[in-house]
Structure 1
Amino acid sequence: MSSTFDVVVIGGGPVGENVADFATRSGLSTVIVEGELLGGECSYWACVPSKTLLRTGNAVAAVRRLPGTTVDFDPAAVLARRDYFTGNWNDEGQLGWARSAGIAVLRGHGRLAGEKTVVVDDAPAGPETLTARRAVVVCTGSVPIRPPVPGLDSVRTWSSRDATAAKEIPARLGVLGGGVVGTEIAQAFQRLGSQVTLVQRGPRLLPAAEPFAGERVVAALRSEGVDVRLSRPLDSVSPAGDAITMHVEGDSIIVDELLLATGRRPNSGSVGVETVGLEPGKPLAVDDTGLVEGVDGEWLYAAGDVTGRVLLTHQGKYQGRIVGGVIAARSIGEELDTRPWGEHVTTADHVAVPQVVFTDPEVAFVGRTESQARAAGLDIRVVDIPIAVSGAALHADGYDGEARLVVDETRRVVIGATFVGQDVAELIHSATIAIVGEVPMDRLWHAVPSFPTISEVWLRLLEAYRTPS
């Protein structure tokens, strides 16, 4: 392998893969340095396996909402299907893609060692030093936050990786944290046969979403037998033989495994950023082209979770595509298009970040919540309706969902949308397009939803908006 490339990418998750792909498409020689599996967290321990664990239970629940149906499932088959979609934690398929795309891959932990220099101490053939002609891009993702709970170091704990890669379903599972990971794993494992206890320090689940979203998910989890405890800190933990005791405000709850789902932080602690004047462990602050701030020379870029901007795979991949294009443009002296929504800026990071929580009901949201819009001083109107349309009624007996639009009244455009209900995930892209396109409300009136679909909720939202408040 050559030691000199146009672009050196540290981190081979989906973000790093996108950077490398878009740089290579433009004729730049590119290498990815990855110490684990090519494809990263999302492919093997996060998005893909977690959604696979959820999907069967969600599908069975959906069937049971139709009359005259009886259906069950085998948890072992769910785990086997999860293994298939993770390639049994083998990345040969991803390596084949990289080779076919003309991207070199070097196994090992990459770290910066000065300007345009990356050292890989544990490379297969011994320590290697890589030099970048054009750019180094840090795409090292994020790592779990371990909370300061007394006794935590005395017991066995699960990270999200342990949960999504579990070979057996524990009889009793404790979950600390009520964000996306906590709620999804809680429901998946309850349906797979665990008795789940979820402890959340704050007053609601999914605090990043509209309050009604968390309320509906709490109701669903409790209806299925999950013991959800809100506004309850985990005071301490202690061993209980082979099990674990969670001490929660005077109660002692014994579980077989304890999942820590208390958030993630940018993974910049061992990337060598101190060699270029940055502080390890801190997010790599970037401008909207992905250029790392505080480093001279327009050669160091970052994308994805390590920037601390948006900790979502799809948004990181979007940043990666932009960064790959920016490096290619600068390599040939092309002027960058940095206007809002231009070719070389990550404008969507600020106004249109979509997210789906794959619980049942699903939660899908994009843009600003009501509280965020009001905190920004915007003149808004909030439209709330139940998802009570013909398509939903046909979709499931007793369909119960809720939708919200947040409208900027000054510009008369949608700036936020939330949908909660069975199978609403596919609704969110239309809202994302409306926000990115800044489509006027009067023009949206002419976007006619097909009958009978759950998308009819858009018509009802627009009708409600046109009704004087």
Structure 2
Amino acid sequence: MTHPFDVAILGAGSAGYACALRAAQLGLSVALIDDTPLGGTCLHRGCIPTKAWLQAAKVRRTVAKAASFGIGATLGDTDPAALLAYTDGVVGQLHRGLEGLIAQRGITVIRERGTLVADDRGPGIETGATVHRARAVVLATGAAPVTLGLPVDGARILTSADALRLTALPERAVVLGGGVIGVEFASLWADLGVHVTLVEAMDRLVPTEEPGHSRILTRALKGRGVDVRLGAPVDTAEATDDGVSVQIGGETVAADALLVAVGRRPATGDLGLEGAGVAVSDSGHVVVDGQLQTTLKGVFAAGDLVAGPQLAHRGYAHGLFLAERIAHLQGRSGERPTLPRDAGIPRVTYSSPQLASVGLTADQAGPDAEVVDYHLTGNGRAQILRAPGDRETGVVRLVRRPGGEIVGVHLVGDDVAELIGEAALLVGWQATPDDVAGIVHAHPTLGEAIAEANWALAGRPLHMHG
């Protein structure tokens, strides 16, 4: 039986386009099927535009503090339309680059909505009246916002995608959800002059991170005027003539807008999965084995469709793995790839301060784990970055097994996200403090904080009390 393609990919987001690029690089013929622009949520409605808004917020915060650095500056009004134009410029440049890469690799892009089909000819993706057959099919349709049944209208009650397209900022906003998305929007809106009420039903923000780091973040947000309400579920919300009315633990809070940022669910609806023989769990995730194979032979799933951390770089990793796995199964590559473990995938919250982590927390590592905290008050670069008069509260935490390898790195502070690459290497390579104690870090850099913590774990602290 012949097939027009070696692999057909449904979804052109992080997982899908990474799979397409790597598969083409390995000599496979590839179809990439999506009725939305290449790059998916991350590029157009998520990671990139959100971080561009956060950068603009950082610029405004820096200008507001300019006098304390000895620089004369006048803080003017925020121009959301100009900010949106800047964001669109960043997205547009990256999108054009991705389009060029896809074209250069000879990938067939089918810009239509697709559904999975399977019959005696094997699996395929149907678009309109055409079924695109392939020796392997990859499902990579990503995730969509959870709305909790609230009446999202895109004007008063918003998803994160709606919030990124605003041309006028609310004066007062309620952010529902204290995870990564909610915290990032609360942080950037506060820095852009919005009065924010941040509501989280659990007892702390970003609950997957170290509790102490969550507390540092909470204090920093409160210090910038964010009304943080923990253990406070939202009962109801409705749009009014001039804003929204939100019931929070029996109290009515009036605002101009409500952002619903309580998480995302896998986009598995209306894809024909179960009818084709692909099992879907009660949570909506595609059921896969340890090689991302679904319950239908020849069909794989990647990224947010698979239960686990919803991260663009996890999607990239899944896409690369599947391209290499499919090439191996089809005899085009002699190497059998290894699927990256979720535990080794780094996490970043780009709020102010930033949180970044990889591996196990101290609690997860167990009561016998060795833990070192290096406070950034002793780091020259951290002192340079902060405005005079601001208290430095950043911390680098390393967690190791007793006498053994480093199993967790947890960071909080300004710009600490840039350290997560080294942190991922330490955890991924199962390094011990002695393995890396001899690596010289440039001075003055934030990276020296990881070196200091390593030295302390190795029993020879330098710029910290032993």
Per-residue CA distance 1:296-353 (angstroms, 9 max, x = gap): 3xx111111111222100111011111111111211165553xxxxxx121332x311
Q: Which residue of 1 aligns with 2:452?
A: 460
Q: Which residue of 1 aligns with 2:293?
A: 291
The amino acid that maps onto 1:381 is E
Secondary structure class of the residue paired with 1:116: strand
TM-superposed CA distance for 1:98, in Å, is 1.6
TM-superposed CA distance for 1:94, in Å, is 3.6
Q: Which residue of 1 aligns with 2:142?
A: 141
Q: Does 1:198 align with 2:190?
A: no
Q: Which residue of 2 aligns with 1:128?
A: 130
Q: Which residue of 2 aligns with 1:110?
A: 114
Paired residues of 2:157 and 2:244 also in contact (CA < 8 A): no
Which aligned pairs between 1:46-445 and structure 2 lie closer than 5 A? 46-62=46-62, 64=65, 67-71=69-73, 72=75, 75-76=78-79, 77-87=82-92, 94-114=98-118, 115-121=122-128, 127-132=129-134, 134-148=135-149, 156-280=156-280, 282-292=284-294, 294-296=295-297, 299-332=298-331, 334=333, 336-337=335-336, 344-349=337-342, 351-374=343-366, 379-387=368-376, 388-396=378-386, 397=388, 398-409=391-402, 412-445=404-437
TM-superposed CA distance for 1:83, in Å, is 1.8
Q: Aligned pair count?
A: 446
The amino acid that maps onto 2:372 is V
The amino acid that maps onto 2:436 is L
Paired residues of 1:137 and 1:301 also in contact (CA < 8 A): yes
Work out the percentage of aligned pairs sharing the same amino acid. Answer: 32
Paired residues of 2:396 and 2:450 also in contact (CA < 8 A): no
Paired residues of 2:156 and 2:256 also in contact (CA < 8 A): no
The amino acid that maps onto 1:75 is T
TM-superposed CA distance for 1:4, in Å, is 2.3
Cα distance in 1, alignment partners of residues 184 and 153 from structure 2 = 25
Structure 1 stretch displaced more, 423-432 or 242-251:
242-251
After TM superposition, what 4+ stretches of structure 1 lie above 6 angstroms from structure 2? Answer: 151-155
The amino acid that maps onto 2:355 is V
Per-residue CA distance 1:15-34 (angstroms, 9 max, x = gap): 10111111111221111110
Cα distance in 2, alignment partners of residues 430 and 73 from structure 1 = 38
- TM-score by length of structure 1 reads 0.89
Paired residues of 2:27 and 2:332 also in contact (CA < 8 A): no
Per-residue CA distance 1:353-382 (angstroms, 9 max, x = gap): 1111111111111111122222xxx84111
Secondary structure class of the residue paired with 1:364: strand
Per-residue CA distance 1:80-107 (angstroms, 9 max, x = gap): 211212229x955543332122111111
The amino acid that maps onto 1:329 is H
Paired residues of 1:240 and 1:254 also in contact (CA < 8 A): no
What residue ranges of structure 2 are gaps of 5+ in the alignment? 461-465
The amino acid that maps onto 2:91 is T
TM-superposed CA distance for 1:247, in Å, is 1.2
CA RMSD of superposed structures (Å) = 2.5
TM-superposed CA distance for 1:206, in Å, is 0.5
Question: CA 1:101 to 1:335, structure 2 compared with 1: closer, same or farther past 3 Å?
Answer: closer
Cα distance in 1, alignment partners of residues 417 and 180 from structure 2 = 14
Structure 1 stretch displaced more, 96-105 or 135-144:
96-105
Secondary structure class of the residue paired with 2:141: coil
The amino acid that maps onto 1:389 is N
Secondary structure class of the residue paired with 2:157: coil
The amino acid that maps onto 1:437 is W
The amino acid that maps onto 1:401 is G
Secondary structure class of the residue paired with 1:118: strand
Question: CA 1:119 to 1:184, structure 2 compared with 1: closer, same or farther past 3 Å?
Answer: same
TM-superposed CA distance for 1:204, in Å, is 0.6
Secondary structure class of the residue paired with 2:69: coil
Cα distance in 2, alignment partners of residues 393 and 199 from structure 1 = 32
Per-residue CA distance 1:2-55 (angstroms, 9 max, x = gap): 982111100011210111111111221111110211110011110001000011
Secondary structure class of the residue paired with 1:21: helix
TM-superposed CA distance for 1:467, in Å, is 4.2
Cα distance in 2, alignment partners of residues 201 and 70 from structure 1 = 42
Cα distance in 2, alignment partners of residues 428 and 48 from structure 1 = 18
Paired residues of 2:437 and 2:458 also in contact (CA < 8 A): no
Cα distance in 2, alignment partners of residues 110 and 234 from structure 1 = 36
- TM-score by length of structure 2 reads 0.89
Cα distance in 2, alignment partners of residues 192 and 385 from structure 1 = 31
Q: Which residue of 2 aligns with 1:341?
A: none
Question: CA 1:117 to 1:62, structure 2 compared with 1: closer, same or farther past 3 Å?
Answer: same
Cα distance in 2, alignment partners of residues 131 and 170 from structure 1 = 49
Q: Does 1:449 align with 2:441?
A: yes
Secondary structure class of the residue paired with 2:234: coil
Cα distance in 2, alignment partners of residues 75 and 163 from structure 1 = 16
Question: CA 1:20 to 1:167, structure 2 compared with 1: closer, same or farther past 3 Å?
Answer: same
Question: CA 1:422 to 1:155, structure 2 compared with 1: closer, same or farther past 3 Å?
Answer: closer
